[in-house]
Amino acid sequence: MEQTSVAADVAAEEIVVNQINLSHPWEWINKGWRDMMNARRYSFTYGAVIVLISGLMTLGLMREGLFYIVPFLAAGFYLLAPIIGLGLYQMSARLEANEPVQFCSALEAWRRNQAQLGVITAGLLIIMQLWMMSNFVLFALLFDGMHPPLENFFGSVFLSGQHNAFAFASIAVGFILAWVAYAISAISVPMLIDRKVDGFTAIRTSVKAVLQNWVPMTFWAVLIVCFIGLGLATFYIGLALMMPLLGHATWHAYRDLVPREQ
């Protein structure tokens, strides 16, 4: 009850968002690299766990003959990355406060505002489900069964020129869902572990930050796509570096975009 009342009081106040420029994303990367090096034992362990879980999930799907789902789960990784990086934000917060970094940072961060973090997590999971469902519908329209051969899918849809309408629809839906997910989660998760605010206030502030600074925030989104893409392209191994780097950098993005509480 106390946590809810505090969150309600903060939500009643309009949270100011700072104006940034195109140089800020690179500053976030530099600060993220510094945090990653200062907490390298914990950061790289965190990244290694992400690689391990991703690899095991992929192997499990291959054994069940569901490998065709893997590319779409990889795309869904972008949607869930803000929650996956939860522990990395907590590490940066501890470094910022000159406090010792420790294991189980994700659990510590979750406990700080777990009910409201659940709101963000549920929203991102719903968006991921919409992404998966939209592609299953596309599969149903293009193929006789629900298990189309992966090696023929991309060539048939994107290269043959026979299904341009479906290809365009898939790309358009994916882009819209990805942009919505990015807008609501760009800084909302770090904000929820830093302040006792409700999830909808954090979402509203995140959307405001993206729209108010749409040029640098779009550039930041492109950097995120490229960095995570490099991690995925190396059969997840690169995620051991890219996820900690982006996670720490996201904390500094939040710090630059939202003024500290007085």
What are the pLDDT digits (tens) for 157-213?
Answer: 555 555 566 667 777 888 888 899 999 999 999 999 999 899 999 999 999 999 999
In 3-state terms, what secondary structure has residue 5? helix
Residue 13 placed within a domain: no
- Is the pLDDT assigned to residue 216 strictly greater than 80? yes
Residue 119 placed within a domain: yes
Residue 15 placed within a domain: no
Residue 1 placed within a domain: no
Task: Note down the domain range covering 155.
Answer: 22-257
Report d(CA 251, CA 85) in Å as an integer: 10
Residue 226 placed within a domain: yes
* All residues at 6 or more sequence positions from 189 whose CB lies less than 8 Å from its CB, including other chains: 82, 83, 85, 86, 89, 117, 120, 202, 250
Domain count, the chain: 1
pTM metric for this prediction = 0.86
Residue 10 placed within a domain: no
The confidence score (pLDDT) of residue 149 equals 52
Nearest alpha-carbon partner for 255 in 37, 78, 92, 38: 92
Residue 12 placed within a domain: no
The confidence score (pLDDT) of residue 12 equals 40
Residue 116 placed within a domain: yes
